[in-house]
Homo-oligomer: A and B are copies of this chain.
């Protein structure tokens, strides 16, 4: 369903970005944001999370948002389901892509989904069974959180990440995601683990990177991922996802900056950067300026580069 491009960029602002905000966006604003992202040509959107509204009030309207998003043909509309119950709701909503998540660090997994890693793998098997029984079978992207570091445990054993990736493939995932949930990863680590997991899963099995920019290494890590052969990346418009309780802490890597880097590297994304920048106005109407980041937004796209051929390699 994704449009043709050298690199697939999935916009996760409407889910991972909003989930960390204590401001609940009106449904119309979420729909307008999704419309603008679609209009910019983004091939895939993580549009919400099927979690109990009591736990994450931001997604109380997820059914309405997904129903709206699915009107757009040609863009894969996904949602997160952290357990079998959430997956049943996502399947009933008819998502194109379903995201499931396990943390590589036991402590983070318990904090995030209140289960052991083993119990969460049981949930995964139930989610796979539900997907297979569904009328519309979604693409199942299984993500490994804290794959490059954990805010509770610190360094994370790459062997644990590789084991979970293999368990996901064996269990029926269509794709595996490596998530630098807290942004502790460095480029050498991202490159090495991306290569190892791809080698473990086989050349044809898709692997994506989900990177955060907490410590400034987000785009360096994305470049390292590219060098390791990764061509699928999550990112968030305006770097949404910073925690309101840690002013200045950054969220996901900024989609606009990532797209700029890809285009400067000569890679096609299918995304119109000028139109993508228009998402800022929608967000700015609801979210305080310090939570909206991005170098392209701050410096502006250099006019002098427009229409010029790319910087030559040697």
Contacts and interface: CB of A to CB of B under 8 A. Distances in A.
Interface of A: 148-158, 182-189, 192-193, 195-196, 213-217, 219-220, 222-224, 227, 246-250, 254, 257, 260-261, 264-266, 294-300, 302, 304-305, 308-314
B216 A304 contact: no
Given A184-B305, A220-B261, A223-B224, A215 B155 contact: no
A297 B304 CA distance: 32
A192 B265 CA distance: 12
Given A189-B311, A215-B295, A254-B216, A305 B261 contact: no
For A184, A193, A220, A295, the residue with the greatest tally of chain B CB atoms inside 10 Å of its CB is A220
Contact of A265 (B155, B187, B313): B187
Given A154-B305, A298-B250, A299-B248, A314 B195 contact: yes
B150 A294 contact: no
Nearest to A313: B192
Chain A interface mostly? loop
Contacts of A296: 215-216
A296 B217 CA distance: 10
Contacts of A196: 314
Given A189-B311, A215-B257, A254-B216, A248 B154 contact: no
Given A257-B215, A265-B187, A314-B193, A305 B155 contact: yes
A294 B186 contact: no
For A184, A188, A304, A305, the residue with the greatest tally of chain B CB atoms inside 10 Å of its CB is A188
Given A215-B257, A216-B260, 6 more contacts: A185-B311, A186-B311, A189-B312, A215-B296, A217-B261, A250-B295
A263 to B, nearest CB: 9
A299 B151 contact: no
Contacts of A246: 299-300
For A192, A299, A310, the residue with the greatest tally of chain B CB atoms inside 10 Å of its CB is A299
Nearest to A312: B158
Contacts of A148: 311
7 smallest beta-carbon distances between A and B, as pairs: A248-B298, A216-B295, A186-B264, A216-B257, A154-B304, A192-B314, A220-B220
A244 to B, nearest CB: 13
A213 to B, nearest CB: 7
A185 B266 CA distance: 13
Nearest to A258: B216
